[in-house]
A = this chain, B = another copy of it.
């Protein structure tokens, strides 16, 4: 039943050889990997205005030069990530680049912050999308958390189904959003060209502004560059592309860069020209759309696709997180289970854990995850800085043909990213300090896990050869609870192994019982030695373990192996298990994990 539900939700299992068919073409990849970056157009320009309004509406013209700054940063990032894609065609992005060129710890800083960042991406963008929906239908507002969780579950299921299938479904809203914004920007520019927008709505660029400071401008710039989160997603996901993967990924990245640049500058320009002031209840995009179209179909089209893409932005996290996790797991910094492909060839453990973690965040923050946005932005700019510094080192070290240009591009990218990171810490410390707490913790955990895996590897490897101690003979201990077919079955099995000795052990809670049982036993199995143990605390495990210890101690002297053979009857139906105490499981766990004995379970299947 569970497995047919699973089939229904995520589809039939796929063969490993079907992996190629699951790869993305450019159109789908653009939809699936850039929803995060593109969706930030919906709030990036607003973030700039929100900082400038703290001075006065006169300062709004600064949004134009700031936007140009953001565009330069975007260009630097896109150019830089193109270089990364070709230099590291197996993907991994910031983590691989930083690790290879700067060393393990910078790599782990980049990897760790991205890992957490993708969880934040999912939580933040789903919450934002839910907010957009419940703003339209206020009656749903009190179910915000529940709705957000349902979206996360749906996205998780979609991603468990596999990338191509989710891409097909997710492509529409992304392209509709792009279309809607292009229409909006086109119509807006047309109105401006036609002189329908009075120019006195905005202050001309260059108007002197009282009280403006470098701090404010940097802060506005940092806020605006939060629109660039998600740019790195493509470089992490190269293995998901159809071959030639790097070329396709690079083209997709460039296309995304152009789209993002056009949409971002269009919105910033319209906001500036329309003289729009950010409001608590109405978003900037919504104001522009209303100004341009009035409350017509187009207005609702823009609003609807915006809400959708905010939710789908989460999908970028679903594409990038599992792949980054695979890279970290291959390097043994996180549990190996992240490298296992599920039934549908996706890295399902990563997908499921991402879903759980973001649901947890949504619940803990009660759906109000806006306060996480700066944290999330800084978590992106740290790996941006590291990966581009890594590329600088690479060019300096390898000096391939034309390296100087490449070096300059990455240096510019690294510098701007670094400045943005510092500005975040300087201007929004109250919101970004947790990064300084959780990054060291995560990196410590990475190292602990790595240490363990290395230690295990060392101990298992046959090269470090301490010869195995030969087993001279076997002693089998059979805990018995009565004179039944189950016990008979187990004793038969034990005898068939012809061990040196079989010892049946009976744990009695009462003295009379002890005697009675011994008598019965001697009649029934006179050839099997019975040891009865008295348990005054009504525990079976304690006296049994003590006894096993004694036997093992003696057995060790003559290189005998002790096996505890547990008779177990298996009920016919699952719910029957509740009706029987699970002492055999407990005994097994206890002995196997704490003592050096082999544990054998002999099943006796009940027929009704």
Contact = CB atoms under 8 A, between A and B. Distances in A.
Contacts of A484: 460-462
Given A468-B492, A497-B497, A600-B600, A462 B474 contact: no
A456 B537 contact: no
Nearest to A535: B16
A536 to B, nearest CB: 4
B537 A13 contact: yes
A523 to B, nearest CB: 11
Interface stretch (A42-50, A67-75, A398-406, A578-586): A578-586
Interface residues of A, number: 72
Interface string A493-505: 1011111000000
A335 interface: yes
A495 to B, nearest CB: 8
A15 interface: yes
**Among A15, A335, A496, A536: residue with most chain B CB under 10 A:** A496
B468 A608 contact: no
Contacts of A592: 568, 570, 601, 603
A578 B608 contact: no
A337 interface: yes
Contacts of A336: 579-581
Q: Which secondary structure dominates where chain A touches chain B?
A: mixed
Given A336-B579, A484-B462, A603-B596, A561 B496 contact: yes
A448 to B, nearest CB: 9
Given A468-B492, A471-B496, 6 more contacts: A336-B580, A456-B569, A459-B606, A459-B607, A468-B485, A498-B498
Interface string A127-158: 00000000000000000000000000000000
B599 A570 contact: no
A31 interface: no
A341 interface: yes
Contact of A340 (B470, B538, B598): B538
A455 B606 contact: yes
Interface in A509-555: 509-510, 524, 536-539
A330 interface: no
Interface string A557-599: 0000101000011110000101111000000100011001111
